[in-house]
Amino acid sequence: MTYAVIFDMDGLLIESEPLWKEAERQVFSSVGVQVTDSLAEQTAAMTTRAVTEFWFSRNPWVGKSLDEVEDAEARRCVSHSGLIAAKRANIQAVAVPHPDEYHNEKFTVADLKLKSLSDFNDEHLMQLLR
Instruction: Find the CATH number of the domain harbouring 94.
Output: 1.10.150.240
Query: Do 81 and 20 touch, CB atoms closer than 8 A?
Result: yes
* Catalytic residue (choose from 10, 67, 100, 119): 10
pLDDT category at 32 given cuts 50, 70, 90 is very high
- DSSP 8-state class, residue 42: T
86 or 11: whose pLDDT is higher?
86
* Residue 34 counted as domain residue: yes
Question: What's this model's pTM, rounded to 2 decimal places?
Answer: 0.58
* Residue 53 counted as domain residue: yes
* Residue 10 counted as domain residue: no
* Residue 80 counted as domain residue: yes
* Residue 33 counted as domain residue: yes
* Residue 107 counted as domain residue: yes
Contacts made by residues 43-47, CB under 8 angstroms, sequence distance 24+: 44/17
Res. 17: pLDDT tops 60 = yes
Residues 79-123 pLDDT 10s: 566 777 778 878 888 887 777 778 888 888 889 888 888 888 889
The answer to whether 71 is a known catalytic residue is: no
Query: Do 95 and 112 touch, CB atoms closer than 8 A?
Result: yes
Triad 36, 58, 65: Cα angle to 5° = 110
Q: Which domain holds residue 122?
A: 17-129
* Residue 3 counted as domain residue: no
Give the count of domains, the chain: 1
Residues 43-66 pLDDT 10s: 887 888 899 999 999 999 999 999
Q: Measured between alpha carbons, how far is 115 from 79 in angstroms, rounded to an integer?
A: 12
* Residue 50 counted as domain residue: yes
